[in-house]
């Protein structure tokens, strides 16, 4: 089958996965101890009649399976429901918070790729030399250290002690410079980078360390391959061997990790948003869980699950552009 048919086929395969995630999330959220109505009415003298009225208003007095079917019926039509605690449509809440999270996650991935691939290549070329030993230590520390601890250390050093960078909030590049009182788009861009730098590094360090270790290993294997030895025997320049023969083959596992680690990055964004006081999707998700805001929990979960599924599908498609041996023929 062609690329379009293959992509369609993968999206169809993803539908049962998303349905399974929705069922599991809905059941777990509703079985969580606590009463969302009483949490909503905290500070209000509410009698049993008022509680029953609120439950009837939001359909919480109905059986779980009926509420799930109603929710999925609305979701198919583009209605993600209504937040109990915020009295706003879930889609509107998600739209207002997803921008900062995407900015944070994408910038962290960009930082990880830009740093890990060159460092992994250099470490492979200088195997068992001092640079290689240092890179392996850095990678081990990056994989072992929690992202929130890295964020706290970065704040203490670069914001508190040195005062070089801000420690909280983001400057959104899609907002007008006048909103922040910036003098033109150049200053607006600079401030966006300054506010983004610390959370980007904190979230991207784990991805960078993981990718650097894999890049080093794959490049070492590629450089020891028979086709590389043959190219050297024919006098092919080392730069050409690295670029055309070793590098391209070594990127296949990198693509896989980038696609599959999207869920890890989104999960890490929750903690980073708290550390740096960023009003993103992760922080909204945490608040929804604490408040037992079922429909908001469902909406955010389905958005994250859909993003992950799309990331995996894009990863599969990217294989064909990196490795010509991968095809989307009828055997697929």
CA–CA distance, 179 with 298 (Å, rounded to integer): 33
- Res 24: pLDDT: 92
Which residues lie below 8 Å from residue 39, measured CB to CB, with a gap of 6+? 85, 291, 292
Dump pLDDT digits (tens) for 168-220.
878 888 888 888 888 888 888 888 899 899 999 999 898 899 899 888 888 88
- Res 326: pLDDT: 63
DSSP assignment letter at 166: -
- Res 331: pLDDT: 46
Dump pLDDT digits (tens) for 217-235.
888 888 777 777 887 787 8
Q: Which domains does the chain have, with CATH numbers?
A: 92-216+259-322 (1.10.3720.10)
Question: What is the number of alpha carbons within 13 Å of residue 38 lying toward its C-beta?
Answer: 5
Indicate left, alpha or beta for 40 from its phi (over 0: left) and psi (-120 to 50: alpha): alpha
Question: What is the number of alpha carbons within 13 Å of residue 137 lying toward its C-beta?
Answer: 7
- Res 171: pLDDT: 83
Spell out, as residue ranges, where the chain has pLDDT lower than 70: 1-2, 42-47, 320-332
Sign of CA dihedral 15, 19, 25, 26: positive
């Amino acid at each position: 089958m062609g690329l379009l048919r293959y992509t369609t086929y993968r999206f169809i395969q993803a539908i049962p996965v998303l349905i399974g995630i929705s069922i599991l999330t809905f059941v777990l959220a509703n079985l969580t101890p606590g009463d969302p109505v009483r949490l909503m009415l905290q500070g209000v003298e509410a009698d049993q009649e008022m509680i029953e009225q609120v439950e009837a208003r939001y359909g919480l007095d109905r059986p779980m399976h009926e509420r799930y079917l109603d929710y999925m019926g609305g979701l198919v039509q583009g209605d993600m429901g209504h937040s109990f605690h915020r009295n706003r449509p879930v889609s509107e809440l998600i739209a207002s918070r997803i921008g900062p999270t995407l900015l944070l996650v994408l910038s962290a991935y960009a930082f990880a790729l830009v740093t890990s691939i060159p460092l992994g290549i250099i470490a492979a070329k200088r195997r068992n030399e001092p640079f290689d030993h240092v890179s392996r230590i850095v990678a081990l520390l990056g994989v072992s250290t929690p992202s929130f601890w890295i964020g706290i250390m970065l704040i203490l050093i670069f914001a508190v002690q040195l005062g070089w960078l801000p420690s909280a909030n983001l400057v959104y590049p899609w907002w007008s410079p006048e909103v922040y009182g910036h003098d033109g788009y150049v200053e607006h861009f600079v401030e966006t980078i300054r506010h983004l730098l610390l959370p980007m590094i904190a979230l991207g360090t784990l991805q960078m360390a993981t990718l650097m270790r894999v890049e080093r290993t794959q490049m070492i294997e590629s450089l020891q391959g028979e086709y590389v030895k043959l190219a050297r025997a024919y006098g092919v320049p080392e730069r050409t061997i690295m670029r055309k023969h070793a590098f391209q083959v070594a990127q296949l596992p990198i693509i896989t990790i980038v696609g599959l680690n999207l869920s890890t990055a989104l999960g890490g964004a929750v903690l980073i948003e708290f550390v740096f006081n960023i009003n993103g999707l992760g922080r909204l998700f945490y608040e929804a869980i604490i408040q037992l805001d079922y429909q908001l929990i469902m909406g955010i979960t389905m958005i994250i699950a859909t993003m992950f599924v799309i990331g995996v599908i894009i990863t599969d498609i990217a294989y064909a552009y990196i490795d010509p041996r991968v095809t989307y023929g009828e055997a697929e």
